[in-house]
Amino acid sequence: MLGASMLAHPLLAGAGTDPTPITVWKNPDCGCCHEWVAHLRKNGFEVITHDVNDTAPIRQKLGLPAKFGSCHTASLGNYVIEGHVPAQELRRLLREKPKARGLAVPGMPVGSPGMEVGNTRDAYDVLLVLTDGSSRIYQSYSQSPSSKSSVKS
């Protein structure tokens, strides 16, 4: 409990920036998708949401291979964003403008934005999906110390 809330300050990332539009397709019953949208809004994105029962056709239309699939798909400029990608990686993508299809966090790792369970965080990677459908690690997030058993720090 000691100072645990001081560990992460996602709110600071988008401070003072103009709203950046992003379009999100998600299932209306998906709680964690809703939380991810809230995370983006908190970080200065202007989120347009479309509720769909199945995001797979959207993913396919946007050219993202199914193996990178998660619970929601988004369109940011010319990039596809799949899953619980942290807002700071979206900012970095917009800043660096790599030649790529977009970013993906496949599956739904615990502790990614919108998938918070207390202070627990599993290790996960944000993948940069290239135009040929291959990918490389864009940013790795390590497991939170509080997830590694109950060691006192």
Q: Which is nearer to Cu ion, 32 or 104 (CB)?
A: 32
Q: How far is CA 89 from CA 10, 29, 122, in A?
A: 11, 26, 18
Options 22, 25, 26, 32; binder of Cu ion; rule CB under 5 A: 32
User: Taking the mean position of all CA atoms in its chain, how far away is CA 31?
Assistant: 14
Toward Cu ion, which CB reaches closer, 87 or 108? 108
Please tell me the number of Cα atoms within 13 Å of 88 on its side-chain side.
Answer: 12
Nearest to 82, CA basis, from 62, 96, 52: 62
85 touches Cu ion by CB under 5 A: no
- Is residue 108 involved in binding Cu ion (CB under 5 A)? yes
71 binds Cu ion (CB under 5 A): yes
What is the contact surface with Cu ion in residues (CB under 5 A)? Answer: 32, 71, 108
